[in-house]
Structure 1
Amino acid sequence: MVDIATRVYNHHWKIDPIVRSLIDTDFYKLLMCQSIFRNRPDTQVTFSLINRTTKIPLADLVDEGELREQLDHIRSLSLSRGESTWLRGNMFYGKRQMFRPDFMEWFEGLRLPPYHLERVGDQYELTFEGQWPEVMLWEIPALAVLMELRSRAVLNRMGKFELQVLYARAMTKLWEKVERLRGLDGLRLADFGTRRRHSFLWQDWCVQAMMEGLGGKFAGTSNCKIAMNREVEAIGTNAHELPMVYAALAESDDELAQAPYRVLSDWHEEHEGNLRIILPDTFGTEGFLKRAPDWLARWTGIRIDSGDPAQGAETAIAWWKSRGEDPREKLIIFSDGLDVEKIIELQRKFAGRAKVSFGWGTLLTNDFRGLVPGDALAPFSLVCKAVAAEGRPTVKLSDNPLKAMGPEVEVERYKRVFGVGEQEAMEVVV
């Protein structure tokens, strides 16, 4: 096991690239990329960094030269032979050859496209523009780079023993969480913490801690590189990016209303079993489920990623019952801003009423809250989203209005088309 504190102190991070592989990314990005490669390969899309926590002045904390160095390194990466073999031959969700030969040939020859970076006030404007299957793969590494460079800026000011104590405290904090969770009957939990992790080495340590501490209750990790290295399941399905881009390409309000279902129709043809998970909140969960075709009710489950998670689960259970489905045979995946207390609460509330699983993200892989003066290592809400498709703006409404994004006039249009009324605002922690 790596001595992270010593590595930080001795190397001053110079010989540890933040992103060391094209598969140091979330599994769902590769699954979506294959679907896009098949269905929308030439669509021009723009991704942009969005710092929701504007009180964190990223451009003041992160050196531009270091940022460019890390981004340029990512552009030099390509799949290794071992990584290609793992993707081509491994079994994912009980299926061999999840990734088709034509997609793998394309991926093996890929280098990520150029980026645009400039400072605007105390923030960075970082954008990626090009063909959708290429630029989408910038999202996770771009976020990981910014998050870790911010961490490094704080750690570089710390001495050897201070670092040892910091990481000992962080390890103890995480292990105490594991000890609270290990006694929870029926728990099924996965690491979803790549995008806003403290560092690659720390995420890898967290996964090892979960493997030892939770045993069979730990389902796996969304990070492909760590899944390969640690021989655990790679976990993931799809994300808001798909309906956001499909919706932006709609030519009319009627096409816009059908866009979320066209996405899942394309997805339906690609995958089987646990990959048939609905993410209904992109334009409001209630309206999505009300208008959903009956074939969607037969899918495996639903992921709840915004709004009140308990209310979201109740809505899902009521919807399945209304469509003649047994909720006890369905899977509910909670994945929004989770920590131990909420995981325990939701598991106890819904166990037996549905199959329950958790995607534990930032507060698993980046919970250094309260460990340094001024809380300078506390996690914050940084995202990288598709903001335009073929020159048209994208929109996300969410079940939490504080997570909404897009031009105001388009947001209002989407609310009208999707029948979204008043929503309860909830604090966005991460």
Structure 2
Amino acid sequence: MDIATRVYNHKWKIDPIVRSLIDTDFYKLLMCQSVFRTKPDTSVTFSLINRSTHVPLARLIDEGELREQLDHIRSLSLSRGESTFLRGNTFYGKRQMFRPDFMEWFEGMRLPPYHLERKGDQYELTFEGKWHEVMLWEIPALAVLMELRSRAVLNDMGRFELQVLYARAMTRVWEKIEALRDIEGLSIADFGTRRRHGFLWQDWCVQAMIEGLGSKFTGTSNCLIAMRREVEAIGTNAHELPMVYSALAETDDALARAPYDVLSDWHEEHEGNLRIILPDTYGTKGFLEHAPDWLAGWTGIRIDSGDPAAGAEVAIKWWQERGEDPTQKRVIFSDGLDVDKIAELHAQFSGRVKVSFGWGTLLTNDFRGLVPGDRLAPFSLVCKAVSANGRPTVKLSDNPEKAMGPADEVARYKRVFGVGAQERIEVIV
């Protein structure tokens, strides 16, 4: 596909940014089914948060165009082929991962309304409603904002300028793939949907990974691309689950139990499959210290904030203390990765654990230094659950730069979860 020509000839108008309800991270669908069963009456508000305030989204992106893309998403429904794929495909070795009652609901679902308002140089974009409905806005909303920003920069570029830009970007991706080829035992997946340069570009990157890495490329988090390119859909769960469960807790004791209640429900939902722990929502160290013994038997851990090597060492020590063999456990690194860090972490932990990588923004949106003023550099944009049944949510993370929530609630959560001083690490993406 000649992406540069497609951009130049149509200025992207021929291509809606989000083409399908399954143009989303696979874990959103897995979590949605769990929420559909366990918390069907919980009301949640999601909100867009631009951590990179130097990127003036409301000056770059026309409000009318943004509304047009969001309204298009609201018109989408599951196609027959997509439904067949979800109902009949094998995911993680299990057929019928998605239950009939969930699929019946999903096939008739349309995304609920949104609220959009300009506030200075930024947009306030929120979604409010039943948790299992509004949660499906997160990934498409991020994809729309990221791609509209890309289009704003590309709009005034000429035909040859675009061809050179994409040639350079493709060369950069391919050189990264070549650097990863020689890593023996590498296991890496695409996690780049939410902050991608654009859908066509993510699809190209996945195809390049398929050709360049062969069996070392294990799949993509993007369910639509997984279906079209016939690769594995990759994903388990995210911070959203413990954040909402915790917000619903009425007492400090209930709050302290909430992150474990999430995983208990998850275990029941998936009958022992998808047993990857995401421990950093309220601090990895405290989470593992107070974890029930049955969690030590799970398959592995995903490390998504803080110093990744330190996080892996904590996990290894925890498994050893619980009588588990770390060499049989999987550690998935997924925070701000690029080639050098992937190679470093693989060399440090290969043989000690089963090492995997979820490669995100610096795979699907690394245009750093390729246009004047670095106007296509990736930036940190998130869409988070900010309240549940009217109560604010909190995220502490292993990096305080990623923390969110009202100050008094943050202080309470730090007290309940025993979170002390933390090292601040710059959030790039």
- TM range, smaller chain: over 0.9
Alignment of 1:13-24 (within 5 A): 13-24=12-23
TM-score of the superposition, structure 1-length normalised? 0.99
- Are the equivalent residues in 2 in contact too, given 1:25–1:224 (CA < 8 A)? yes
Deviations along 1:38-77, one digit per CA (max 9) or x if unpaired, are: 0001100000000000010000001000000000000000
Aligned to 1:93: 92
- Cα shift at 1:37: 0.2
- Are the equivalent residues in 2 in contact too, given 1:93–1:273 (CA < 8 A)? no
- Are the equivalent residues in 1 in contact too, given 2:302–2:331 (CA < 8 A)? yes
- Are the equivalent residues in 1 in contact too, given 2:220–2:231 (CA < 8 A)? yes
Q: Is 1:136 the equivalent of 2:135?
A: yes
Alignment of 1:178-197 (within 5 A): 178-197=177-196
Q: Is 1:58 the equivalent of 2:57?
A: yes
- Are the equivalent residues in 1 in contact too, given 2:44–2:134 (CA < 8 A)? yes
- Cα shift at 1:274: 5.5
Aligned to 2:8: 9
2:127, 2:253 → 1: CA distance?
30
Deviations along 1:319-372, one digit per CA (max 9) or x if unpaired, are: 000000000000000000000000000000000000000000000000000100
1:386, 1:425 → 2: CA distance?
23
> What SS class does the counterpart of residue 324 from structure 1 fall into?
coil
> What SS class does the counterpart of residue 337 from structure 1 fall into?
coil
- Are the equivalent residues in 1 in contact too, given 2:44–2:128 (CA < 8 A)? yes
Aligned to 2:357: 358
> What SS class does the counterpart of residue 303 from structure 1 fall into?
strand
Deviations along 1:379-428, one digit per CA (max 9) or x if unpaired, are: 00000000000000000000000000000000000000000000000000
Aligned to 2:206: 207
Aligned to 1:393: 392
Q: Which residue identity lines up with residue 259 of structure 1 in the other structure?
A: A
Aligned to 2:46: 47
- Are the equivalent residues in 2 in contact too, given 1:220–1:232 (CA < 8 A)? yes
Question: How much identity, in percent, do the aligned residues show?
Answer: 83
1:121, 1:155 → 2: CA distance?
23
> What SS class does the counterpart of residue 383 from structure 2 fall into?
strand
Aligned to 2:243: 244
User: How many residues matched?
Assistant: 429
Aligned to 1:35: 34
Deviations along 1:195-230, one digit per CA (max 9) or x if unpaired, are: 000000000000000000000000000000000000
> What SS class does the counterpart of residue 14 from structure 2 fall into?
coil
- Cα shift at 1:165: 0.3
1:341, 1:189 → 2: CA distance?
14
Aligned to 1:296: 295
TM-score of the superposition, structure 2-length normalised? 1.00
- Are the equivalent residues in 1 in contact too, given 2:267–2:273 (CA < 8 A)? no
Aligned to 2:316: 317
1:37, 1:272 → 2: CA distance?
16
Aligned to 2:117: 118
Aligned to 1:286: 285
> What SS class does the counterpart of residue 275 from structure 1 fall into?
coil
1:41, 1:270 → 2: CA distance?
14
Aligned to 2:225: 226
2:57, 2:289 → 1: CA distance?
41
1:270, 1:220 → 2: CA distance?
23
- Cα shift at 1:15: 1.3
Q: Which runs of 4+ in 1 moved over 3 A?
A: none
Aligned to 1:269: 268
Aligned to 2:102: 103
Aligned to 1:422: 421
Q: Which residue identity lines up with residue 296 of structure 1 in the other structure?
A: L
Q: Which residue identity lines up with residue 351 of structure 1 in the other structure?
A: S
- Cα shift at 1:273: 5.8
- Cα shift at 1:271: 1.7
Alignment of 1:337-376 (within 5 A): 337-376=336-375
Aligned to 2:76: 77
